[in-house]
């Protein structure tokens, strides 16, 4: 534990250095347009909404800025059709 602790500490300056390099590279190019993610979110919602009904709250966009590439993660939660029809049947039964 002591050795690992020592080793971990030793590396923290180089971790700081690396994190700063990656961050500032992005920030110096003006960074990412702050409206980009919300705008894309709207577009994606509209595109998918044509085919499936999606709860806007269930669309999550994440960005991870990396050294050579950045990763954009789109996570859309869609209701399972099976479940939906079961729900519908249940509510129909209830109404009856």
Partner 1 sequence: MAQVVVVTSGKGGVGKTTSTAALGAALAREGERVAVIDFDVGLRNLDLVMGAERRVVFDLIHVVQGSARLSQALIRDKRIDTLFLLAASQTRDKESLSDDGVERVIRDLRPSFDWIICDSPAGIERGAALAMRHADLAVVVANPEVSSVRDSDRIIGLLDSTTDKAKRGEAIEKHLLLTRYDPARAGRGEMLGVDDVLEILCIPLLGIIPESKDVLHASNMGSPVTLNNPGSGAARAYEDAARRLRGQQVPVVVPSEKSTLFGKLLGRRAA
Contact 64, 73 (CB under 8 A): yes
Among 1, 10, 34, 83, binds partner 1 (CB under 8 A): 10
CA 80, 73, 29: angle at the middle one, nearest 5? 160
Least distance to partner 1 from the beta carbon of 43, Å? 30
Q: Is 32 helix (H, G, I), strand (E, B) or coil?
A: coil
User: 38 CB contacts (<8 Å, ≥6 apart)?
Assistant: none
Confirm or reject binding of residue 23 to partner 1 (CB under 8 A): yes
Q: Does 12 contact partner 1 by CB under 8 A? A: yes
Residues of span 34-93 touching partner 1 by CB under 8 A = none
Q: Is 16 in the site for partner 1 (CB under 8 A)?
A: yes
Q: E-assigned strands of the chain?
A: 59-64, 71-76
By the rule CB under 8 A, 2 interacts with partner 1:
no
Which residues of this chain interact with partner 1, rule CB under 8 A? 9-14, 16-17, 19-21, 23-24, 27-28
């Amino acid at each position: 534990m002591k050795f690992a602790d020592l080793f971990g500490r030793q590396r923290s300056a180089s971790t700081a250095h690396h994190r700063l390099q990656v961050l500032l590279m992005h920030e110096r190019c003006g960074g990412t347009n702050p409206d980009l993610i919300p705008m894309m979110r709207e577009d994606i919602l509209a595109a998918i909404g044509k085919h499936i009904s999606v709860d806007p709250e269930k669309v999550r966009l994440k960005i991870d800025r990396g050294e050579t590439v950045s990763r954009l993660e789109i996570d859309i939660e869609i209701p399972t059709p099976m479940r939906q029809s079961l729900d519908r049947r249940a509510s129909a039964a209830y109404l009856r």
